[in-house]
Structure 1
Amino acid sequence: MKTKITLPILAILAIGAVFFWVIPRTERSTVVGRFKGISVETARRAPDVRKGPHGGKLFSKDDLRVEVVIFEQGVPPQFRVYIAREEGGIVPLDGVSLTIELHRLDRVDAVHFKPSGDYLLGDKTVEEPHSFDVKIQAQWKGNSYRWEYSQVEARAELSEEAMKNAGITLAAAGPAQLKNALVLPGEVGLNEEKVAHVVPRLDGVVKKVNKALGDPARRGEVIAVLESRELADAKSDYLAALKRANLAKADIERETAVFENASKMLEILERESDLDEIYRQLQGLTIGESRAQLLPAYTKLKLAKSVYLREKGLFEKKISSGSEYQIALEEYKSAEAKYLSLREKTAHDGSWNLLQKKRAAELAELDLETARQKLLALGLAQPEIAALPNQTGSVFTRYELRAPIDGIVIRKHVAAGEAVRKDADIFLLADLSEVWVNIAIPAKDVKNARLGQKVRTHFENLGLEAEGTLDYLGSIVDERTRTVTGRVVVPNPEGRWRPGTFVTAELLLEENPVPLAVPAEAIQTWRDGPAAFVKYGDFFEARPLTLGKSDGEFVEVLRGLRPGERFAAKNSFTVKAEAEKASATHDH
């Protein structure tokens, strides 16, 4: 009785053992722990996946056995796959086609293989973290094989509530400016490129002064009026040149019309034979002397030709003598030669006369432009010059001195009734919308300064602060102060930056734009290297980084992150602690 009961029990246990051995080979398990709003995904492994002789994961189907190894000794991590028969026979590697897909949180990496010694070698480095779903596809002897497994590390899942409670904030990877400032003394000065000395440019007597010290002036505004005989002479020269130029223009217009009409007359004479029609078409056209010369010659040619043709006919019929025919021929040829000569002369004279008129007009225009440029050099504006023909002689001596720039009168040396020379410096205007801040850079720091660097200038007493760039760096070290002068242009639209004020300047010696950076506090140490925790969906994953320069606030990322990826920027150590709980081992 006992035996009958024991045998069924043993059979059931045997069947259970078989299922226990088979089922885990094709299924994956996930262990998830949850506490205080935080869930941690542990490394998902198939506990029954066999280990191969090279320490890798061993898969088999039918007569094919595949061992997948992530090899990391002395080389960047790489896939090595060893192929053999299930019963221990050798499989030629060139007969096996193999592809492995690594399904990461953010992408899929496809790895292709080729024979290398006694194994198949992957064509890509297996980047950290080694956390992915692995899909193996193989073809051998016309058969297809597929295996899958997962290995998960360096991940943690945090709910929004848990992130809020832990003070974890996210940021997107992107460009940044790395800064290193040098604090230096500076002094506000005039922008010397926006300062204008006002001189009369000719001798005269001051009739009126329109601006006082400190007054604003607009470009082109009259700031003083002088009386000058020299200016009257220049205006007279201009008007005389203007008249000559206008006469030259009229001459060239008439000569152009004569030339065009003469050319038209030549065309009509070439085309028409009826004199009445010729005179009709030429009626009303201004042609000049060539009409009086050419038309009679043409009439004579027509008559001589008619006589010649008549005598030729009579001579051929033996009616008239040969002498009469010869005389008619000579008169015809003579008339033809004279006519053709007059045609050539008409064409040549018309072209030559037009050319002479054009030359005269060009010389007149040159004289006019010279006179105009002289007036411009004396300070007259173009509208004033254009209005001269309508002015009377009484205002020719009036010289209006105008502001050359928008600015403030910061110096004035002129009074009404004063005789001034043409080189007298009577006004100084300065545009204070921008000022220069001259900074003293110690000689030992000059090697770190360069044009284009940003400079932050501030004056604590008035609460002034502005940013500009270093646009000048001196070439000489001051013997007394052992400094080099640098300069920055500071906007001053309200005029609060007053020249002569001492200020503080912060020269950003090493402000360098970097294409990708993260806050320094976001960097954590993960497996002896820097890493940031990138968020995809509900998971954070440690991403090993290759770092560049740092200014203490931001750290340049050379490799490991892509622009726009979101990561734990603040309190990332909390994410690290949870990820460490999920990845106690690094099992490849």
Structure 2
Amino acid sequence: MQLIKPLYWILVGTCLAVSPLLAAQDRDDASNEAQQTAPETKGPHGGLLLERDSTTVELQIFEQGVPPEYRAWVTKDGKPMTDGIDLNVQLTRLGGQEDTFDFAFQGDYWLGNGVVTEPHSFDVEVTLNQNGEQYHWQWESHEGRTRIPADIAKKAGIQTNEAGPGSIERTLTTYGQLTIAPEQIARVRARFPGVITKVNVRLGDRIAKGDLLAQVESNESLKIYDLRSPIDGVVTERQISVGEIAGEQPLFAIANLATLWAELRVFPGQRTQVAVGQKVFLKAEGVDEQATVNHLLPSPDNAPYTLVRVEVDNPDGTLSPGLLVAGDIVVEALDVPLAVENRALQTFRDWTVVFAQVDDAYEIRPLELGRSDGTLTEVLDGLQAGDRYVVDNSYLIKADIEKSGASHDH
């Protein structure tokens, strides 16, 4: 909450600043002088009313049942003008994109030639040529926009990425558990039958290759010989105590837990989608990593599933066999020309948006979205490759814009 308040006051301050674009205008001819402030008066059709001498232009973005379009009503001395004029609207958007609209009379109003795409946030310049006279009106019409100085954005943890191509991954979710591969377990027996004279390890002890496990007095030679560990690992079984007779049975089991295996179950309807070498995202308590499908094995006891074996590194021995694990197997990767990170997406009004950044300005970009996975979402419209958009802490910008009370009023 301490971050939002300073950003909000920055927003308030910047809303009061005069646009450099507007400040640069300097017209000598009073009849051609541009109106520098946003019109406040509404005309009879609900549009903005632009007035100069005895000429008026009512300008409206109409979006009821049609894509947003410009409509205008022009009068001279109170009489509708249906011909003999040249009306033009130029919109300059954040980042410098310019949209130009020329108008043709449609019987009841003048219609601009094109769609006024969202967001409706731009600097507006209206030019009217009428019987050799030219009039200009110019103002800012910003919505869903705020300005945040770079140092404040850095302190707030606002980070951006560049929009570009991505790979949307379709995954198959499977479940299983961690196991030890049989070849990673060493069972130690006595070389010669005899009496156990010393046991040097307990269950759970971590030992290195060559460490002393026990000593045995041979029945034949009555000499004592050592039993040593053949591998690094953990003592998982101890079947003998001092004074007992060592025969052919295993005395110790040593398991190398540096590597475990996730054995995931894939059922017949899923089997054709899975192959060795596919990427897997493993999740469990203490596990959140990317791995690879190493083997596909028949299930034990003819159970109706296939075992997908995935190697899991466990250098610190923190993971235990038997731990339940989920695996998202990437069964398809779709390359798309434009994608954004899911964590950047926010809701704004009835849109899904990201916040585009140009210098110290941030503005909504309503998006048309396509396919998605847990990380990326395809963008079909609303953003261009190379645009920078906010990824981290975009909610702060959303809070600033919402506090500004910006309306969708044209």
Are 2:270 and 1:445 aligned?
Answer: yes
Are 2:41 and 1:81 aligned?
Answer: no
Q: In 2, distance between residues paired with 1:68 and 1:155? A: 22
| Closer/same/farther in 2, CA of residues 60 and 67 from structure 1, 3 Å limit | same
Name the amino acid aligned to 2:125. K
1:235-259 residue CA offsets vs partner (Å, 9 max, x unmatched)? xxxxxxxxxxxxxxxxxxxxxxxxx
| Closer/same/farther in 2, CA of residues 465 and 553 from structure 1, 3 Å limit | closer
1:365-404 residue CA offsets vs partner (Å, 9 max, x unmatched)? xxxxxxxxxxxxxxxxxxxxxxxxxxxxxxxxxxxxxxxx
| Closer/same/farther in 2, CA of residues 570 and 96 from structure 1, 3 Å limit | same
Q: In 2, distance between residues paired with 1:559 and 1:457? A: 30
Corresponding residue number in structure 1 for 2:279: 455
Are 2:72 and 1:100 aligned?
Answer: no
Measure how far apart 1:111 and its partner are: 1.5
Q: In 1, distance between residues paired with 2:351 and 2:327? A: 38
Corresponding residue number in structure 1 for 2:348: 526
Q: In 1, distance between residues paired with 2:71 and 2:385? A: 32
Q: Normalised by the size of structure 1, how large is the TM-score?
A: 0.42
| Closer/same/farther in 2, CA of residues 465 and 102 from structure 1, 3 Å limit | closer
Q: In 1, distance between residues paired with 2:365 and 2:356? A: 7
Trace 1:33-432 onto structure 2 (pairs within 5 A).
Answer: 38-40=10-12, 41-42=14-15, 46=37, 49-85=40-76, 87-93=77-83, 95-106=84-95, 107-179=97-169, 180-183=171-174
RMSD between aligned alpha carbons? 4.2
Q: In 2, distance between residues paired with 1:523 and 1:61? A: 44
Corresponding residue number in structure 1 for 2:399: 577
Name the amino acid aligned to 2:15. T
Do 1:153 and 1:583's aligned partners in 2 also have CA atoms closer than 8 Å?
no
Identity of counterpart residues, as a percentage? 35
| Closer/same/farther in 2, CA of residues 445 and 82 from structure 1, 3 Å limit | same
Q: Alignment partner for residue 376 of structure 2, among 534, 554, 579?
A: 554
Do 2:8 and 2:403's aligned partners in 1 also have CA atoms closer than 8 Å?
no
Q: In 2, distance between residues paired with 1:63 and 1:457? A: 70
Are 2:366 and 1:544 aligned?
Answer: yes
| Closer/same/farther in 2, CA of residues 90 and 506 from structure 1, 3 Å limit | closer
SS of equivalent residue, structure 2 residue 119: coil
Do 1:37 and 1:162's aligned partners in 2 also have CA atoms closer than 8 Å?
no
Measure how far apart 1:97 and its partner are: 2.0
Q: In 2, distance between residues paired with 1:465 and 1:526? A: 34
Q: In 2, distance between residues paired with 1:62 and 1:453? A: 76
Do 2:168 and 2:333's aligned partners in 1 also have CA atoms closer than 8 Å?
yes
| Closer/same/farther in 2, CA of residues 146 and 34 from structure 1, 3 Å limit | farther
Corresponding residue number in structure 2 for 1:511: 333
More helix by share: 1
Do 2:265 and 2:305's aligned partners in 1 also have CA atoms closer than 8 Å?
yes
1:137-182 residue CA offsets vs partner (Å, 9 max, x unmatched)? 2222233332212211211111223222222111111222333243
Please, which runs of 5 or more residues in structure 2 have no aligned partner?
19-35, 182-262, 312-325
| Closer/same/farther in 2, CA of residues 457 and 62 from structure 1, 3 Å limit | closer
Q: In 2, distance between residues paired with 1:481 and 1:80? A: 70
Q: In 2, distance between residues paired with 1:457 and 1:153? A: 41
| Closer/same/farther in 2, CA of residues 36 and 141 from structure 1, 3 Å limit | closer
| Closer/same/farther in 2, CA of residues 59 and 443 from structure 1, 3 Å limit | same
Measure how far apart 1:72 and its partner are: 1.6
Any runs of at least 4 consecutive aligned residues in structure 1 with deviations exceeding 6 A, and if so which?
33-37, 450-453, 484-488
Name the amino acid aligned to 1:99. N
| Closer/same/farther in 2, CA of residues 155 and 465 from structure 1, 3 Å limit | closer
1:285-334 residue CA offsets vs partner (Å, 9 max, x unmatched)? xxxxxxxxxxxxxxxxxxxxxxxxxxxxxxxxxxxxxxxxxxxxxxxxxx
Are 2:402 and 1:587 aligned?
Answer: no
Name the amino acid aligned to 1:525. T
Corresponding residue number in structure 2 for 1:17: none
SS of equivalent residue, structure 1 residue 146: strand
SS of equivalent residue, structure 2 residue 80: coil
Name the amino acid aligned to 2:388. R
Measure how far apart 1:53 and its partner are: 1.0
SS of equivalent residue, structure 2 residue 45: coil
1:424-457 residue CA offsets vs partner (Å, 9 max, x unmatched)? xxxxxxxxxxxxxx9974222247x278983349
| Closer/same/farther in 2, CA of residues 563 and 48 from structure 1, 3 Å limit | closer
SS of equivalent residue, structure 1 residue 50: coil
Measure how far apart 1:68 and its partner are: 0.6
- Higher Rg of the two aligned structures: 1
1:40-60 residue CA offsets vs partner (Å, 9 max, x unmatched)? 443989366432111111223
Paired positions, count: 285
Measure how far apart 1:479 and its partner are: 12
Name the amino acid aligned to 1:104. R
- Where relative contact order (Cα < 8 A, 6+ residues apart) is larger, the structure is 1
SS of equivalent residue, structure 2 residue 120: coil
Do 2:123 and 2:138's aligned partners in 1 also have CA atoms closer than 8 Å?
yes
Name the amino acid aligned to 2:143. E
Do 1:139 and 1:145's aligned partners in 2 also have CA atoms closer than 8 Å?
yes
SS of equivalent residue, structure 1 residue 125: coil
| Closer/same/farther in 2, CA of residues 99 and 468 from structure 1, 3 Å limit | farther
Q: Alignment partner for residue 565 of structure 1, among 374, 379, 387?
A: 387
Q: In 1, distance between residues paired with 2:120 and 2:98? A: 13
Please, which runs of 5 or more residues in structure 1 have no aligned partner?
1-32, 189-437, 491-503
Corresponding residue number in structure 2 for 1:346: none
